[in-house]
Amino acid sequence: MIKTIISAVGRGTRDLAGTVYQRTIYEFQGEKFPPTPFFVDSIRRKYRPQHIALVGTRTSSWGAVVEEYSSDDSDLWLALENATEARPPAGVDDGLLDRLAALLSAKWDCHVTCAALCKREIDDTNAAGILAKFIEMLPLYDPEQEIVLDMTHAFRTLPMLAFSAIQIGEAFAPGLFARTRLVYADLVRHPASMGVPPREGEPIGQGRGVALESIREFAEVAHAAVTFENTLDPEPLSRILARKGCPKLAHALERFGIALASNAFSRLNERISELRNALAQSQLQHLPYANLLRQRLLRFADILDQPDLPRQLVALANQRADRRDYALAVLALSEAVPGRIGHYWTNPPTDPDVSN
């Protein structure tokens, strides 16, 4: 699968000697990688991507990248340092970033792009524009593309906005979550590095990289829950439950959804009973959203649990209408009317004032 790494460049920190940018030996998924100031260097060695997108602001420490990977390219380094370290900084232009991208493409043996998403500050005044640029980077409609999002370094708001872009992308191109890996690295400093200047270029400590699969899964659960809430389609939730070790509940939910989708109204009671039994028997305790899920499904089952089919269909029609799914609401009502008439034909009310 084609991989794209998205990582952010922030404001670099020099080591205690003040000579070079701090390097760390990162350990990630059982492997240790050479010392580097940038976790993305370890990620690329692990995943061997075809594309790396480095993002930042116009005043990020782009010169630190040149210093680490091409110390002999003094002209580019000096131009980037002047653009980002002057007071006030003018900021890098796209031409300098294109030169940096070309340099890294050769060094890393993959296609690299460098993009400045804003001038310096990140806040609500430019968040929408940054989000739009992230969305443009995402391979939304290519199922062969996998995204690795590095949420470690830089301005914390950039990874947050990148993840928001992925959430929006999932809404318009379902399946994006499944193709996205979230990674993060934290830093453990060596005691000797605290207050004792290390030798030039000496790593300051160990870094621990982790793949945050759970965050991606939780976002997928949220999307599936919203789908059910808005459309009464439980199929996405059913798929997740099957993966998470709840096959009976997943099967019951799938059959319940099929009955709703195919308008098999005569089987609703049977499907509701199956769903209740599955909820009672399923071991959901290992899921952090277990109580929310159980309460929501039981609440919906209670709404449809009516004394007879006509009332059940009226309840379903109300649920459809609440979601502005008027065609299916009318369909449910059209099935309820003859059933209601038949009920009173065989069981006429004894009270003449009864009009329901």
If asked whether residues 38 and 176 sit together in one domain, one would say yes
Domain identity same for 179 and 271? no
Q: Which of 211, 241, 262 is the last residue of a domain?
A: 211
Looking at the fold, whether 207 and 244 belong to one and the same domain comes out as no
Q: Residues 252, 278: contact at Cβ < 8 Å?
A: yes
Q: How far apart are CA 317 and CA 333, in angstroms?
A: 6
**316 and 190 in one domain?**
no
The reply to whether 148 and 259 lie within a common domain is no
35 and 65 co-located in one domain: yes
If one counts every other C-beta atom within 10 angstroms of the C-beta of residue 173, the result is 16
What is the Cα–Cα distance from 278 to 284, expressed in whole angstroms? 11
Tokens 């059209």 identify what position? 334
Q: Which is nearest to 32 in space by CA: 205, 200, 214?
A: 205
The DSSP element (H or E) to which 113 belongs, if any, is strand 111-116
Same domain for 197 and 282, yes or no, is: no
Residue 191: predicted pLDDT: 46
Tokens of 270: 């049977």
Q: Is 222 within the bounds of a domain?
A: no
Is 297 within a domain?
A: yes
Q: What is the CATH classification number for the domain harbouring 54?
A: 3.40.50
Total domain count, the chain: 2
pLDDT digits (tens, 9 = 90+) for 214-269: 888 888 899 899 999 999 999 999 999 999 989 999 999 999 999 998 888 889 99
SS3 of 181, please? Answer: strand
Q: Is residue 225 part of a domain?
A: no
Task: Report how far apart, in Å, the C-alpha atoms of 41 and of each of 8, 48, 159 are.
Answer: 12, 10, 17
Q: pLDDT band for position 344 (50/70/90)?
A: very low
218 domain residue, yes or no: no
Sheet with 145-150: list strands edge to edge. Answer: 31-32, 25-28, 205-211, 180-189, 145-150, 2-8, 51-56, 111-116
Same-domain status, 294 and 185: no
User: Do residues 44 and 164 share a domain?
Assistant: yes
Is residue 189 in some structural domain?
Answer: yes
Same domain, 181 and 51: yes
The verdict on residue 216 lying in a domain is no
Residue 54 pairs with which residues in a beta bridge?
A: 7, 114
User: CB neighbours (10 Å) of residue 102?
Assistant: 13
Between 88 and 51, the higher pLDDT residue = 51
**pTM, two decimal places:** 0.78
The domain of 17 spans 2-211
Lowest-pLDDT choice from 92-106, 142-156, 193-207, 333-347: 193-207
Q: What is the DSSP letter of 331?
A: H
Residues 296, 200: one domain? Answer: no
